[in-house]
Amino acid sequence: MPVTSDIVRTWRAPRAVMRDILDQGRREDRAIAYLLIACFLIFIAQWPRLSRMAAGFDLAPGAEVPALDRLMAYEFLAWLMVWPLFLYFLAAVTHLVARLFGGKGTMYGARVALFWTMLATSPAILLHGMMRGFVGPGIETNIIGAFWLIAFAVIWVQSMREAESER
């Protein structure tokens, strides 16, 4: 099934989609692809906010207006170099915590659960990025951010439950 169809299905039945992904066998290339695509989409979601900052909006009084190319370079480095390393670490820690509570899965399952959740919730983070760039900080943007955060938490917990369940 195409990834886009799985993303839509994840919002309705995250455990079933995670089971389908895990049933495809251990594919590290697929796991890292989920991670890098998700991080790239999150990087793209930052563009409207960065453009807004480079135009001089939402800065502290007296702050120097940053150059857009510099902001983009820092964001790129962060989302495609630093965050993936941290997310691998986070997946390992969550797997070890799940083991303490009786989880029977593998490190691979924990990685795929986290990386897939990031990719599956990327439409919401893209919407948040557009709101942050076009509307700016405010209650509307915060609501979209909270929606993404709740969706991420629910889908990740359900995916981890499936990944750590007995097979």
Q: pLDDT for 9-59, tens place per residue?
A: 999 999 999 999 999 999 999 999 999 999 999 999 999 999 999 998 878
Per-residue pLDDT for 166 more than 70?
A: no
Per-residue pLDDT for 2 more than 70?
A: yes
Residues 99-157: tens digit of each pLDDT? 999 989 999 999 999 999 999 999 999 999 999 999 988 999 999 999 999 999 999 99
Mean pLDDT of 52-80: 91
Dig out the tokens for 74 from the structure.
Answer: 């820092």
3-state secondary structure the chain: CCHHHHHHHHHHCHHHHHHHHHHCCCCHHHHHHHHHHHHHHHHHHCHHHHHHHHCCCCCCCCCCCCCHHHHHHHHHHHHHHHHHHHHHHHHHHHHHHHHHCCCCCCHHHHHHHHHHHHHHCHHHHHHHHHHHHHCCCCHHHHHHHHHHHHHHHHHHHHHHHHHCCCC
pTM: 0.92
Domain that holds residue 48: 3-10+18-163
Give the number of domains in the chain: 1
What is the model's pLDDT at position 19? 95
